[in-house]
């Protein structure tokens, strides 16, 4: 059991997000127990994703074409850009089917603790694609870092494109949320931002 | 987001044990976000495990050599064979460092529901390696199927090697277990099998 390739595979699997050493062991066993049925299809899926998927040089989303299919989609509203932290956020937003504009993936949020400085985020490419844009929608996380980043980016945008509307996602009670179990700040924000019934 | 290789990778990842579509998406993003750091090492770990790891033809454990390093280990007691369901069970037993004998991986348990018949388990290879063995330790799961399988295998062993001692793991309170939260059958078994203090 201490042989290299198995242990090495388990260690690599355990580095995946949401995976511990126990589940990594389980997955490794699953893969090795039937190489043809389990291992090979995963390997070819990884290889094909590795070869074909790339980052869109415009919005930094992942796709098999560059610029990505959202950036080149003829029906997307080119006057709106939604600013998000990660590609997963873009997928989540696309799943809602509600938003019809473009995206820009920032690649994270500013964080002094994690050493994320403005030059590590794709702020430059955002600023270079602002011509013809009417609205930037800040959809970064409602965390301290997320909000500080949104504030910083908004400042940069205003320096050169003062006429662009900068909006943000609404804060409030999540749909399906029980008031009793909401945290204080969400509840206070929801009360402050209350609307007509 | 509906492009083939990404969606395909997510679907493959979601088939891994303990992985749902949400965590599969997260893992896929993690892998694709930094191919050099995340994707490539996993791919090479998979490839090396795929190429080098094989099933031991004696005990059906997984190893880089065949027969495996446990079967060929000079200090293992060749007169004892511990019968287990899966390779993961062997690893668990080896981690305890307590047992010094050999193993035999059955590859599952008999199950009418799942269509697991005796010929699908490695019972034949077990019966063929019984010469010189003094004791078979049944370490199959303490489930109905596990026990039925142990019973069946014990019968087969007795047909040809009636002199072999057949034992089983002790049943009782797990170490660290609270009596209050134990299920009835475990508690009843622990009481019935009580020993001297």
Interface test with A, best of B2, B5, B96 (most A CBs within 10 A): B5
Distance (Å) from the C-alpha of residue B160 to the closest C-alpha of chain A? Answer: 30
**CA nearest A56: which of A17, A87, A15?**
A87
Partner-chain residue, chosen from A17, A52, A90, that has the shortest CB–CB distance to B27: A17
The span from the first CA to the last CA of chain A, in angstroms, equals 64
What residues of chain B score a pLDDT lower than 50? 1-3
Contact criterion met (CB < 8 Å) for A49 and B63: no
pLDDT at A120: 93
Question: Which residues of chain B lie closer than 8 angstroms to A19, CB-CB?
Answer: 27
pLDDT at A142: 87
For B108: left if phi > 0, alpha if psi spans -120 to 50, otherwise beta; the answer is left
Distance (Å) from the C-alpha of residue A12 to the closest C-alpha of chain B? Answer: 6
Arithmetic mean of pLDDT over chain A: 91
Rounded to whole angstroms, the Cα distance separating A8 from A1 reads 11
**CA nearest A106: which of A126, A88, A78?**
A126
Rounded to whole angstroms, the Cα distance separating B100 from B98 reads 6
Rounded to whole angstroms, the Cα distance separating B181 from B69 reads 40
pLDDT at A23: 94
pTM above 0.90, yes or no: no
How big is the A-B interface in CB pairs under 8 Å? 157
Distance of CA A193 to the CA centre of its chain: 26
User: Cα-atom radius of gyration of chain A, to the nearest Å?
Assistant: 21
Chain A residue with Cα closest to B1: A91
- Regarding an ipTM greater than 0.85, the answer is no
Structural element, H or E, at residue B21: helix B21-33
Interface test with B, best of A42, A54, A61, A70 (most B CBs within 10 A): A42
Q: CA-CA distances (angstroms) from residue B159 to A151, B26, B120, B136, B153?
A: 79, 53, 20, 14, 10
Q: What residues contact A120, with CB distance under 8 A and at least 6 apart?
A: A107, A108
Q: What residues contact A189, with CB distance under 8 A and at least 6 apart?
A: A171, A172
Contact criterion met (CB < 8 Å) for A30 and B41: no
Q: What is the three-state SS of chain A?
A: CCCHHHHHHHHHHHCCCCCCHHHHHHHHHHHHHCHHHHHHHHHHHHHHHHHHCEECCCCCCEECCCCCCCCCCCCCEEEEEEEECCHHHHHHHHHHCCCCEEEEECCCCCECCCCECHHHCCHHHHHCCCCCCCEEEECCCCCHHHHHHHHHHHHHHHHHCCCCEEEECCCCCCCCCCHHHCCHHHHHHHHHCCCCC
Rounded to whole angstroms, the Cα distance separating A128 from A150 reads 17
Contact criterion met (CB < 8 Å) for A53 and B47: no
- Cβ atoms of B150 and B169 closer than 8 Å: no
Q: For residue A129, is pLDDT > 60?
A: yes
How many residues are there in chain B?
A: 197
pLDDT at B142: 87
Name beta bridge partners: B80.
Answer: B135
pLDDT at B122: 95
Contact criterion met (CB < 8 Å) for A5 and B30: no
Question: Which residues of chain B lie closer than 8 angstroms to A12, CB-CB?
Answer: 41-42, 45-46
Interface test with B, best of A11, A13, A44, A49 (most B CBs within 10 A): A49
Contact criterion met (CB < 8 Å) for A49 and B5: yes
Contact criterion met (CB < 8 Å) for B64 and A39: no
User: Positive or negative CA dihedral for B130, B136, B141, B146?
Assistant: positive
Domains detected in chain B? 5-52 (1.10.8.420), 75-168 (3.40.1360.10)
Banded pLDDT at A17 (limits 50, 70, 90): very high
CB atoms within 10 A of CB B122: 19
| pLDDT, average across residues A49-69 | 93
CB atoms within 10 A of CB A196: 3
pLDDT digits (tens, 9 = 90+) for A75-110: 999 999 999 999 999 999 998 889 999 999 999 999
pLDDT at A80: 95
Contact criterion met (CB < 8 Å) for B1 and A35: no
pLDDT at A2: 46
Tokens of A78: 């080119």
How many residues are there in chain A?
A: 197
Quick one: what percent of chain A has pLDDT higher than 90? 74
Contact criterion met (CB < 8 Å) for B42 and A12: yes
Tell me the longest C-alpha to C-alpha distance in chain A.
66
């Amino acid at each position: 059991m201490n042989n290299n390739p198995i242990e090495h595979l388990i260690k690599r699997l355990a580095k995946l997000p949401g995976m511990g050493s126990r589940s990594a062991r389980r997955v490794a066993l699953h893969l090795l127990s039937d190489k043809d049925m389990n291992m090979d299809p995963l390997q070819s899926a990884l290889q094909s994703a590795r070869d074909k998927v790339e980052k869109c040089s415009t919005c930094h989303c992942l796709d098999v074409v560059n610029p990505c299919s959202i950036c080149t989609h003829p029906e997307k509203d080119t006057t709106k850009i939604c600013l998000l932290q990660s590609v997963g956020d873009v997928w989540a937003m696309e799943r809602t089917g509600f938003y019809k504009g473009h995206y820009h993936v920032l690649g994270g949020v500013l964080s002094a603790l994690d050493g994320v400085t403005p030059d590590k985020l794709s702020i430059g490419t955002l600023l270079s694609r602002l011509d013809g844009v009417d609205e930037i929608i800040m959809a970064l996380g409602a965390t301290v870092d997320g909000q500080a980043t949104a504030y910083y980016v908004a400042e940069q945008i205003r320096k050169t494109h003062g006429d662009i509307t900068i909006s943000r996602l609404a804060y409030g009670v999540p749909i399906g949320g029980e008031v009793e179990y909401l945290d204080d700040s969400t509840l206070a924000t929801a009360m402050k931002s209350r609307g007509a019934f």
